[in-house]
Amino acid sequence: MGDLLNSGSATVLALIILGLAALGFALTRRRTVVSVQGDTRRLHSLPAYYGYNAAMLIAVPSLMVIAVWLLVQPVLVQNAVIELIPEEVVAEGSSVGLVMSDVRRVAEGLDSAVAQGAMTVQEAASLDAGATDVRAQLAEIGVALGADVQGPVLAAAQRYRTMTATGRLAMMVTALALALAGFAYAFSRTNADFRARNTVEAGIKALLILAASLAVLTTVGIVLSMLFESINFFRLHDWKDFFLGRSWAPNFRGDSDLSILPLLWGTLYISIIALAVAVPIGLFAAIYLSEYASSTVRSFAKPLLEILAGIPTIVYGLFALLTVGPFLVKIFGRGEDGLLGVDWMSGATSVLTAGLVMGIMLIPFVSSLSDDIINAVPQSLRDGSFGLGATHSETIRQVVLPAALPGIVGAVLLAASRAIGETMIVVLGAGAIARISGNPLEAMTTITTRIVSQLTGDTDFASPETLVAFALGLTLFVLTLGLNVLALYIVRKYREQYE
């Protein structure tokens, strides 16, 4: 929170640096052109490259310093301030972390008091907890505190403020100094023989590497955070019961049954029904579009099919709950009033409802991938088969599909991993009862829906009932990752076949 208050100044600083970079670009570019008396052919690179080089040297190091500083400074300040808080201030049932958040709130309060003019800078720095009621004073300017401010907390808050302010100032000076140094360096190095083009190329490469590694690091971060929370869960709950138990019955008063098997069963059952719907329909659609459809049909049918892929899954969920579910009940339920006269289905939510709708969602996914793969089969194979007097469907069945099979298997596996991870359709369509049953007309529940329900509402992040969500999430992640790796392996192997 303290960062946010000060982030204004960091933004201004960043803007100043960008302004400097723009100035550096213009000046360096001009200087370069002047240095060869306007005859740009004598330059090693186009004049703009010298400008880019200067802008890069000005902006990149200083902006990086700001970014790192903003991340590191709060940690350092907090570590320094924590020493000021004596043990006895930390009340029973509380923790140093909670006291520290008090400190930060007081510091923020003082900041905004100064900003609104309710206090002078000196007053804020010399407040005494014994003499004044800090809580009341801060309440006047709209900062509500949970408890009276104790002496050590106020002292810590004041220390926190000074250290933060000093840090900010140091950051500004360092960043600006770096920017100016970069400016001077770029400006002085600019001459006709300087290979600005190559330097800019290296800079662009570094930028791209940075983007790629950020994406990878984020993934690693997500996995690690899930892993640590899962470890916390397994400290509180037996892993054997989680993986091998038969019952799921969370109870927020404790002593819950938390086993993944019923959820995994629901997840896989629904996914299999979804694939049974999506794979044949998607594959046949892909065969029609890539092999039989004329280019006019293709040009409107393909985008139309892909619109299905653009529908938000919550809309599919509504479709399941309000249309498909009641329709299935009409067929399989209601006893004498139903279409079949049977009473096998009581509510709209069921494995079949969720599976059917998820299958519809996956059709464009399967068809679009299969379409690409079928199109990648060389035309020469089709010609060869036609040339031997095979019909179109014989050619597809005996030559095109066998050649495309590994790729299609890969597409199906990718679709499967999407089905396993799908959430909204099952939240609305599958029901909330964890059970292991073979009847597709019964409501069951999945891993994803249980993660949602365990984490919504008031949650205590120290109880196994909440932490189980991370263990479920990690299992799901491992499952889909495994499927994706397998799919990519198969697809890649298939690609090599024609190259």
Of 259-298, binders to another protein (CB under 8 A) are 294-295
Residue from 399, 430, 444, 447 touching another protein (CB under 8 A): that is 399
151 binds another protein (CB under 8 A): no
Site mask for another protein (CB under 8 A), range 2-31, x = bound: ------------------------------
Whole-number Å distance between alpha carbons of 263 and 249: 11
Q: Which is nearer to another protein, 37 or 294 (CB)?
A: 294
Q: Tell me the Ramachandran region of residue 124: left when phi exceeds 0, alpha when psi lies from -120 to 50, beta otherwise.
A: alpha
Site membership for another protein, residue 306 (CB under 8 A)? no
- State the minimum distance, in angstroms, from the CB of residue 279 to another protein: 22
Q: Does 394 bind another protein (CB under 8 A)?
A: yes
Query: Least distance from C-beta 402 to another protein, angstroms?
Result: 7
Of the candidate residues 387, 460, 462, 496, the single one contacting another protein (CB under 8 A): 387
Q: Do residues 28 and 53 lie in contact, with contact meaning Cβ atoms separated by under 8 Å?
A: yes
CB of 381 to another protein, least distance (A): 6
Q: Is 125 in the site for another protein (CB under 8 A)?
A: no
Residue 380 contacts another protein per CB under 8 A: yes
Could you say whether residue 391 binds another protein (CB under 8 A)? yes
Instruction: CB nearer to another protein: give 327 or 386.
Output: 386
- Compute how many other C-beta atoms are within 10 angstroms of the C-beta atom of residue 80: 13
Which of 390, 486 has the CB closer to another protein? 390
Give the residue from 316, 226, 309, 259 showing the smallest Cα distance to 445: 259
Distance of closest approach, residue 383 Cβ to another protein, in angstroms: 6
378 binds another protein (CB under 8 A): yes
Contact between 493 and another protein by CB under 8 A: the answer reads no
Distances (CA, A) of 150 to 85, 107, 147, 349, 443: 10, 13, 9, 55, 55
User: Which residue in 390, 409, 433, 436 binds another protein (CB under 8 A)?
Assistant: 390
Q: How far is the CB of 408 from another protein (least distance, A)?
A: 14
Q: Which residues bind another protein (CB under 8 A)?
A: 294-295, 378, 380-391, 394, 398-399, 402-403, 497
